[in-house]
Amino acid sequence: MRKNFKDLLSHDEAVLGFDPHGLRERYARERERRIHDKGMGQYVRMDRQLSESGPADPYMPVTPRDPIDRDVEVLILGGGFGGLLSGAYLRKAGIDDFLILDAAGDFGGTWYWNRYPNAQCDTEAYVYLPLLEETGYMPTRNYAYAPEIFEHSRRIGRTFDMYRNALFHTTIHGARWDEETGRWLVSTDRGDKLRARNLVLANGGLVRPKLPNVPGLADFKGHMFHTSRWDYDYTGGDSQGNLQNLADKRVGIIGTGATGIQCTVPLAESSKDLYIFQRTPSSVGVRGNKLTDAKWVETLAPGWQRRRAEDFIGAIEGREYQDDYPGDGWIDLVAYNAKVVRALRKEGLLSDPNDVGRVTENADFEKMEQIRRRVSEIVKDPATAELLKPWYRPLCKRPCFHDEYLDIFNRPNVHLVDAADGGIERLTENGVVVGGELFELDCLIFATGFETTPAFAPNNGLEIVGRAGMPLSEKWKDSFSTMFGYTTAGFPNCYFVARTQAPMPQNLTTLLEEAAEHIAYVISETKARGADIVDTTEDGEKVWQEEMISKRRDNLRFHALCTPGYFNNEGELSDTGHSLFAGLYGGGTIGFFELVRAWRTEGKLEGLILEKHVAKADTLAPAHTE
Ligand code: NDP
């Protein structure tokens, strides 16, 4: 059995305590089993399937209002953390004339829609919830539940007085740059006609719920809904569980990702029978949620949150960090191999580059062996425990952390259905078929995640049309092309809030905050320098493409060996195009921050071109063409 980090250089099972060769083969076999011949095409959008069975917004009625016709300095699309941070940084920069549009009935974005019971953020609340110091708020626990996060979104809205800037239950159809007026013409589903000097696109990544595209989806006669539109009228209870209406119901849930494992716990406690249809098990590490330590809070000096958030990101990236994340699952699982590599390098033991690969892989094996041992320790039935063991490297799929999930499989009313070979086959009017067997159900819940297709594809109903009538979907048809991921040439005064060509979101809100600060800087500097319009130059964009290429990481080799999922485009890999990892900046988040901050400090706005808009006498009232 391994005695110290040095042993991770070995190939030998007797030294390591596991058989690396055998594990490599097992991972490959499990991957082969899971490859789906339709790749991403195995899914269908929820809005074509379930929307008729419930209101567009199950949480808040949509109230009628008159269409709005007005000019605005900045129009922000999205009222989640990206939009809220953008608004907050505009306020800080003294820009008050902005509107935030969202299809939801309040701020919150993801946390508005995802209200399923026991929903929680897996990233430490002290780094995930933004603007804690500005809002004077301290999370109650180290991992916050969804209602607390949603309420924090509202708090940011109140603190920065942004409710007066908000247009809720409003969906943008499209935005078209109008050269005559130097504005974005924006039309909405409420009949609004808005003319925005600047357009900030903070419309999130995982927004459109998806369902398995299996036969019989429309045949099921029981009740069904997606986790992001939880039907408490049907289940009873609330975000804490107590789903009392399910006491006499046979409930099925498809999906055992981060959402699935959180909401199955209250479902197991409340349902008469719960059938969990599992294709790939998640890795489920220790959660260890605790109340916030008041003594620790007293030690925090001003500026602590940004520093901590960047320290946390650095740790995940494999940098040295202050060791004050006791029991954090991300640090324990993801930063572990980098910690081993650092320790061995210090001892001068990693001179051969091949050794780094072997040590990293062995460290990953070791961590996943711990995850698998935990399953056996908690789940009493050995056959069920075997099915719950994940056979892939830690970052092949989104790691999960939970202290009650595995234990539900010891309950007599919980049935794990193995759908590893191809997933669920079809739905009938009575239930779900897997491996030729029908599981009869009263209610079926889809915890099947969200589309990861590009947000600006024409079929997403949001077309952004830039200079010379060029649609963004056309410009980005083959691959993305931006400057810092924030702007793109030919789309003046248009900003993307950390959507693409940005670094890996180890903590998304920190990326969103940097984007918000950057965008507010460019907008206010443009104004301060007497210009109205700012566009990215071809050169500016080219420099960033070169930087993207020079820092490109060979994620392909890693992901090619991973079990399929949205991380690796369901196994359909390409290092160009739009797959999740192809669009990521490989220079790391901290490196990215250093780069964009240096650019701002330099103050030359290099790569951008400022223009003064000259209005034509006859263009007072531009026509909306959308
Ligand atoms: P995911 O896409 O992660 O998971 C979808 C699940 O559905 C997977 O288990 C998948 O299996 C399963 N599935 C899909 N099709 C079928 C099928 N035909 N038959 C059987 N099973 C099927 O969605 P989630 O909602 O769990 O997560 C969405 C996003 O939200 C993720 O990015 C996640 O990280 C994030 N999230 C974050 C949280 C946080 O803490 N911050 C909390 C909850 C979610 P398979 O794995 O085999 O494809």
Closest C-alpha residue for ligand 1 atom 2? 449
Is 374 in a helix, a strand, or coil? helix
Find the helix or strand (DSSP H, E) in which 167 lies. strand 166-167
Which of 173, 174, 177, 175 is closest to 468 using CA atoms?
Answer: 177
Closest C-alpha residue for ligand 1 atom 45? 280
DSSP notation for 510-560: HHHHHHHHHHHHHHHHHHHTT-SEEEE-HHHHHHHHHHHHHT---HHHHHH
pLDDT at residue 248 tops 90: yes
Q: What is the pLDDT of residue 620?
A: 44
Q: What is the pLDDT of residue 55?
A: 62
CA of 137 to the centre of ligand 1 (A): 31
Q: What is the pLDDT of residue 51?
A: 46
Q: What is the pLDDT of residue 577?
A: 58
pTM: 0.93
Beta bridge partners of 167: 101
CB atoms within 10 A of CB 621: 9
CA dist 10 and 110 (Å) reads: 44
- For residue 430, with 0-12 CB atoms within 10 Å meaning exposed, 13-18 middle and 19 or more buried, which class applies? middle
Closest C-alpha residue for ligand 1 atom 1? 449
CA dist 471 and 246 (Å) reads: 48
Q: What is the tens place of the pLDDT at every residue in 468-517?
A: 999 998 998 888 899 999 999 999 999 999 778 888 888 999 999 999 99
Structure tokens, 360: 């990293």
Testing ligand 1's pocket by substitution, the residue of 38, 42, 116, 254 carrying the most ligand atoms inside 8 A of its CB is 254
pLDDT at residue 104 tops 90: yes
Q: What is the pLDDT of residue 2?
A: 72
Strands, E, within 319-364: which ranges? none
Q: What is the tens place of the pLDDT at every residue in 528-564?
A: 999 999 999 999 999 999 998 888 776 677 777 888 8
CA dist 443 and 235 (Å) reads: 9
The overall average pLDDT reported for the chain is 91
pLDDT at residue 95 tops 90: yes
Beta bridge partners of 278: 418
Please check whether residue 344 is in contact with residue 359, taking contact to mean a CB–CB distance below 8 angstroms.
yes
Ligand 1 pocket, residue 333 CB under 6 Å: no
Ligand 1 pocket, residue 280 CB under 6 Å: yes
Ligand 1 pocket, residue 266 CB under 6 Å: no
CA dist 47 and 435 (Å) reads: 28
CA dist 271 and 248 (Å) reads: 7
Q: What is the pLDDT of residue 48?
A: 46
396 vs 351, residue with greater confidence: 396
Average pLDDT on 383-405 reads: 95
Structure tokens, 452: 């990861």
Testing ligand 1's pocket by substitution, the residue of 118, 145, 398 carrying the most ligand atoms inside 8 A of its CB is 398
Which of 496, 531, 399, 575 is closest to 199 using CA atoms?
Answer: 496
- Distant-in-sequence, close-in-space partners of 254: CB < 8 Å, separation ≥ 6: 212, 260, 277, 424, 432, 444, 445, 446, 447, 448
Block residue for tokens 């006498």:
617
Q: What is the tens place of the pLDDT at every residue in 122-153?
A: 999 999 999 999 999 999 999 999 999 999 99
- Which atom belonging to ligand 1 lies closest to the Cα atom of 258? 26
Q: What is the tens place of the pLDDT at every residue in 294-340?
A: 999 999 999 999 999 999 999 988 888 886 787 898 888 888 888 88
pLDDT band for position 615 (cuts 50, 70, 90)? confident
Block residue for tokens 């969990």:
276
Q: What is the pLDDT of residue 626?
A: 40
CA of 255 to the centre of ligand 1 (A): 6
Q: What is the pLDDT of residue 323?
A: 65
- Distant-in-sequence, close-in-space partners of 568: CB < 8 Å, separation ≥ 6: 396, 559, 560, 562, 579, 580, 581
pLDDT band for position 455 (cuts 50, 70, 90)? low
CA dist 125 and 118 (Å) reads: 15
Q: What is the pLDDT of residue 618?
A: 46
Q: What is the pLDDT of residue 332?
A: 87
- Which atom belonging to ligand 1 lies closest to the Cα atom of 279? 47
